[in-house]
Amino acid sequence: MKILKYLTLISIALLLFSCSEDVMDEVNTDQNNPADMDARNMIPDLILKTAFQTVATDIAWYATVYIEHAAGTWAQSSEADRRVAQNSASLFNNSWNLIYDVMNMSNTIIEKTDPVTGSEPDNYAARGIGQILMAYNLSVATDMWGEIPYSEAFQGAQNLQPRYDRQSDLYPIIGQLLDDGIANMGRATLLFPDRDYIYGTVGIAGLSGAAYRDAWVKFGYALKARLSLRLTNIGGVAAAQAALDAAANSFTSAADQALFGGNFAVARNRGNPWGEFWFDRNHLSVSSTIHGLMDERNDPRMPRYFGPGPIAPIGTADNVQGLYAGSRYTTGWGAWTMPITVFTYQELKFIEAEASFRVGAADWQDALKEAIAASWAFHGQPLFQEILDEDDNVVETIDFDVWFDEEVVTRLTAGNELEEIMNQKYIALYDREAIEVYNDYRRTGFPEMKNPNNATTGFVWRFPFALSEVQSNPANVPSIDVHTDKVWWAGGSEN
């Protein structure tokens, strides 16, 4: 009996010890920061980080100054406006690290859903979105910096000094990512993410099944159209035709466009980053370049674009906060709740207009008119509007058809067609889509930039490589001067 008693006590002790070990394992695990996560549950964070770390952050804020949508009138933005210290390795260190954080997450999703080696081989929806957003972020990274690590990136401690891939090698990779992402969204199962800030619960609410798949497929084709047009200096008419072919499978109306949110809480650290940037720093003012271009064309969108106050002279503005007029899209409390423009319908229509002109389509002017009309709609400008005085008498009539004939068609003279197309796109994509305008100028040379510092110090043709790379990976970082060295598709050479 004593032996049985002792055996029972030992068994109970072992059981209690085992249970306490299991409990301690749970106690020592951060349940809010799991070591592993299903791919579908990573998608919302990937979308959010793409918007907040790539689309609407320092990359865009510097681009808007370089492209003269805005004049930098305080601190670092004033230095950008005056072309001071733009070769500094510390300038875009945060942006570099943030965009690689986003791409690393995309890569993790792609690896998890690999049909052969992944733990979720049937999750085509997560794989498709991961590939499309990898293409999006990778294209922004190489467009800003040129040669960047990709083929040897995302390996962590296994490779802390990855080699830099040429942009000419990266663009086919981006194209393949888009093709694969579109194909995977076409075969997607019902394993959709629970929340999608573009096409799900915070974007176009209620999309599911075939409609949800189609939304991402159209977004993928929009990216193909954008990136095909980017290569017009390389591929000529063939690149323009590829852009047209992709656009034909993309957005059919503004309801399809990729906008992040639109219902941000107006509270500290929760709003659209453009609003945050204004509230925290107030670095940007309306540039005399964009203002002059619209004033010359009697553009009725001007009151919707520009706030009150004097217009900042580009390149020579005083370094003073709040002295000059601000953009209605990036200043004031309304900027906090505006959606982040990931890819707009108006941009797609301008891609169609330019590509149509480049391939010699007979209806390219009609395509341009549709693009400008889409922009008026995007900015809330009615195509027909009667402006009344206090006695309800009509004092002005705005008619889009009349305005287009008088202000646009008259400028489409032989040899000036592309310039006016790009001028109109520059106006349409004002402020929040400055990254793409920056790419357009480097590709086409239009519109004419007015900053006098371009003639002395030089235009900023690309971003300087990050300090973190210069210090930790010096053997692989290309040696460049941002004022003279262009990226590959803009006519530059590659290291």
pLDDT tens digits, one per residue of 127-153? 999 999 999 999 999 999 999 999 999
DSSP at 384: E
Per the structure, the complete domain to which residue 374 belongs is given by 39-490
Closest CA to 484 of 452, 465, 462, 451: 462
Task: Return the pLDDT at 269.
Answer: 56
Asked whether residue 307 is domain-assigned, the answer is yes
By the 10 Å C-beta count (0-12 exposed, 13-18 middle, 19+ buried), 223 is classed as buried
Q: What is the mean pLDDT of residues 353-366?
A: 98
Q: Which residues on neighbouring strands pair with residue 306, listed in sequence order?
A: 327
Stretch among 40-54, 221-235, 381-395 having the lowest mean pLDDT:
381-395
DSSP at 338: S
Asked whether residue 440 is domain-assigned, the answer is yes
Q: How many CB atoms lie within 10 A of CB 264?
A: 18
Asked whether residue 10 is domain-assigned, the answer is no
Q: What is the mean pLDDT of residues 20-31?
A: 48
Task: Return the pLDDT at 3.
Answer: 47
Asked whether residue 5 is domain-assigned, the answer is no
Share of the chain above pLDDT 70, in %: 89
Stretch among 43-57, 104-118, 182-196 having the lowest mean pLDDT:
182-196
Task: Return the pLDDT at 175.
Answer: 98
Asked whether residue 406 is domain-assigned, the answer is yes
Task: Return the pLDDT at 334.
Answer: 78
- Spatial separation of the C-alpha atoms in residues 179 and 128, rounded to whole Å: 9
Task: Return the pLDDT at 30.
Answer: 52
Asked whether residue 13 is domain-assigned, the answer is no
Asked whether residue 30 is domain-assigned, the answer is no
pLDDT per residue as tens digits for the range 307-346: 999 999 999 999 999 999 999 998 877 788 889 999 999 9
Share of the chain above pLDDT 90, in %: 78
Check whether the bond before 310 is cis (ω within 30° of 0): no
By the 10 Å C-beta count (0-12 exposed, 13-18 middle, 19+ buried), 191 is classed as middle
Task: Return the pLDDT at 393.
Answer: 82
Residue by residue, DSSP assigns 177-195 as: HHHHHHHHHHT--S---S-
Instruction: Give the HSE-up count for residue 397: Cα atoms under 13 Å, Cβ half-sphere.
Output: 5
pLDDT classification of 101: cutoffs 50, 70, 90 = very high
Do residues 273 and 53 lie in contact, with contact meaning Cβ atoms separated by under 8 Å?
no
- Spatial separation of the C-alpha atoms in residues 230 and 232, rounded to whole Å: 6
Task: Return the pLDDT at 207.
Answer: 59
Task: Return the pLDDT at 203.
Answer: 41
Closest CA to 120 of 61, 186, 43, 60: 43
pLDDT per residue as tens digits for the range 239-294: 999 999 999 999 999 999 999 985 454 455 568 899 889 988 999 999 999 999 99
- Number of domains forming the structure of the chain: 1
Average pLDDT across the chain, whole number: 90
How would you label 453-492 residue by residue, b for 16+ Cβ within 10 Å and e otherwise? bbeebebbbbbbbbbebeeebeebbeebebbebbbbbbeb
Which domain CATH number covers 189? 1.25.40.390
Closest CA to 400 of 435, 369, 431: 369
- Reply yes or no on whether the pLDDT at 10 is more than 50: no
Do residues 131 and 114 lie in contact, with contact meaning Cβ atoms separated by under 8 Å?
no
Task: Return the pLDDT at 395.
Answer: 80
Q: Which two tokens stand for residue 449?
A: 């930039």
How, if at all, do strands 384-388 and 284-286 pair?
unpaired
- Reply yes or no on whether the pLDDT at 35 is more than 80: no
- Spatial separation of the C-alpha atoms in residues 286 and 358, rounded to whole Å: 32
- Spatial separation of the C-alpha atoms in residues 92 and 83, rounded to whole Å: 15
Asked whether residue 305 is domain-assigned, the answer is yes
